[in-house]
A and B are shown apart, each in its own frame.
Chain A
Amino acid sequence: MLIRQAPDLTDNDVTDRGLYLKRRTLMAGLAGAGLFGAAGEAKAGLTYGKGFSTQEKATSKEDITTYNNFYEFGVDKGDPAENSGKFKPRPWTVRIDGACEAPRTVGIEDLIGRNKLEERIYRMRCVEGWSMVIPWVGFPLKDLIASVKPTSKAQYVAFETVMRPSEMPGQGWNTLDWPYREGLRMDEAMHPLTLMAVGLYGDVLPNQNGAPLRLVVPWKYGFKGVKSIVRISLVEKQPVTSWNKLAAREYGFFANVNPAVDHPRWSQATERRIGEFRRRDTLPFNGYGEWVGDLYRGMDLKRFY
């Protein structure tokens, strides 16, 4: 099996910030040798659980940071790395509001300091038919949501990317209806696998990967992973989401990875893992069905794609 640990994490499984930082130093030294996983734990002699992770070989940092879909910086895969230099991910605040008792605005350093960060190596499957294995650092979204005390009206979570045309040249074109918006059903948002990422390969998130804060939902197509988030709202109705608004037939609200439901213009049965030559089969729920399949029990996934 690809997964080494169940997602029901206890506090003992979670690396605290101090340990994580130590490990990060060590990892930096070992990353080149491709040893940082197991060796990092053993040599540090520390008892910590890395977060829920796949054991597959991580995609190179070079590829993860130069092959991006982040249309705010341009539509080519290389544009985000090239055009995000002017973007300022700090200072940064996120507004969390809507159907909750304790709405708040929180600074990014505060978020990083108060949440227990952990490394989670997840597969990422893009709707375009390619995939990566990415070592994120972050914390579960459910912790953040719980902190604002959602009310019973909180049925969905709506996310919004920052709107900064002066720093994000792609927002000057109406390729998408800016700002970028995404959403999850409440149970999806509260699932332990759903991550708010603040780091990548042990370091803070690079601008092109969604600095300083982005969503990662590993069983869904990558476009659900809204980047550079400034607002998270708990809402009653299913929120409008950017790609769905552009082409509802092609990009569903759920967007669960599903080899049996093709994109109208191409097959989703296979994918090319970046760095590999041959295509490989795409797994239902991107291989996370064991943990998330229950969320969709009884739903017609061909209809709710």
Chain B
Amino acid sequence: MKRPSKTRDNIVYALVWAACFAPIVWLAWKGFNGDLGANPIEKLIRQLGVWGLRLLLVGLAITPAARILKKPRLVRFRRTIGLFAFSYILLHLFSYIGVDLFFDWGQLWKDILKRPFITLGMLGFVLLIPLAVTSTNGWVIRMGRAAWSRLHRLIYLIVPLGVIHYYLLVKADHRPPLVYGVVFLALMGWRLWEARRSRPSP
């Protein structure tokens, strides 16, 4: 296959980066202009979390997209998008601890123990840490392809934790978290179907 030119590659990369940065720039801009509504702290925390989840789903969609569209090189964006997702979720967590709770560690601990949605969200975040840490090429080599891949399958657990975390905090309108849940199931469904197809039954 012909490798696209270096310039074009750089442009595509720049676009992906710009797209990943767009939500935080948009939030910062709105925040700067006092445009985040009457409860800016809640809005900020919620938006950071939602964008983290969306990027995780985009990350999960890359492999199917690469196969279906027959564009295997799409896979090179997985790490970038995954790390951006991690960054949004990290900011989501920081703003909850630093801004909402104002570093009230006692309250944080109580929340983790008592509030299932926070317990699950926290668990998802903790599981995400090793994936972020081992995202470099060096780690892939050090761990070996197979072990690295096995570790990174944790994402199939982390994303539903994120969806449930979102679902549990909604009061009445469960449509948004359900949409993310359906997207996740569709992406997993494709994987199952693909695994079955490539391994013909006896």
Contact = CB atoms under 8 A, between A and B. Distances in A.
Partners in one complex: yes
A142 interface: no
Given A262-B114, A267-B111, A77 B37 contact: yes
Interface in B109-152: 110-111, 114-117
Nearest to A278: B102
Nearest to A64: B38
A77 B39 contact: yes
A272 B115 contact: no
Given A265-B115, A267-B107, A274 B39 contact: yes
B38 A63 contact: yes
A67 B37 contact: yes
Measured as residues with beta carbon below 8 angstroms from the partner, the interface class of chain B is 20 to 34
Contact of B168 (A66, A262, A265, A267): A265
Contact of A66 (B37, B110, B117, B173): B37
Contact of B169 (A130, A265, A267): A265
B172 A75 contact: yes
B3 interface: no
A71 interface: yes
A130 B41 CA distance: 11
Could you tell me the dominant secondary structure of chain B's interface residues?
helix
A78 interface: yes
Contacts of B100: 272, 279
B173 A265 contact: no
B63 to A, nearest CB: 33
A173 interface: yes
Contacts of A71: 172-173
Interface string A221-251: 0000000000000000000000000100000
A74 to B, nearest CB: 9
Interface in A260-305: 262, 265-267, 272, 274-275, 277-279
Contacts of A272: 39, 41-42, 100
Interface string A194-227: 0000000000000000000000000000000000
A279 B111 contact: no
A246 B37 contact: no
A173 to B, nearest CB: 7
A173 B173 contact: yes
Contacts of B38: 59, 62-63, 66-67, 77, 274-275
B172 A265 contact: no
Interface in B78-125: 100-102, 107, 110-111, 114-117
A173 B117 CA distance: 25
B171 interface: yes
B173 to A, nearest CB: 4
Contacts of A274: 38-39
Given A71-B172, A75-B173, A176-B172, A265 B37 contact: no
B94 to A, nearest CB: 16
B102 A175 contact: no
A173 B172 CA distance: 11
A128 interface: yes
Given A75-B173, A173-B173, A278-B102, A265 B39 contact: no
B111 A130 contact: no
B102 A279 contact: yes
A75 B169 CA distance: 14
Contacts of A278: 102
B39 A67 contact: yes
B138 to A, nearest CB: 41
Given A267-B107, A267-B111, A175 B39 contact: no
A175 B170 CA distance: 11
A54 B72 CA distance: 65
Contacts of A275: 38
Contacts of A175: 172-173
A265 B101 CA distance: 16
A277 B100 CA distance: 8
B5 to A, nearest CB: 45
Contacts of A246: 172
Given A66-B37, A278-B102, 18 more contacts: A63-B38, A67-B37, A75-B172, A77-B38, A130-B39, A130-B42, A175-B173, A265-B115, A265-B117, A267-B111, A267-B114, A267-B115, A272-B41, A272-B42, A274-B38, A274-B39, A275-B38, A279-B101
Interface of A: 59, 62-63, 66-67, 71, 75, 77-78, 128, 130, 173, 175-176, 246, 262, 265-267, 272, 274-275, 277-279
22 contacts: A59-B38, A62-B38, A67-B39, A71-B173, A75-B173, A77-B37, A130-B42, A175-B172, A246-B172, A262-B114, A265-B117, A265-B169, A267-B107, A267-B110, A267-B111, A267-B115, A272-B39, A272-B100, A274-B38, A278-B102, A279-B100, A279-B102
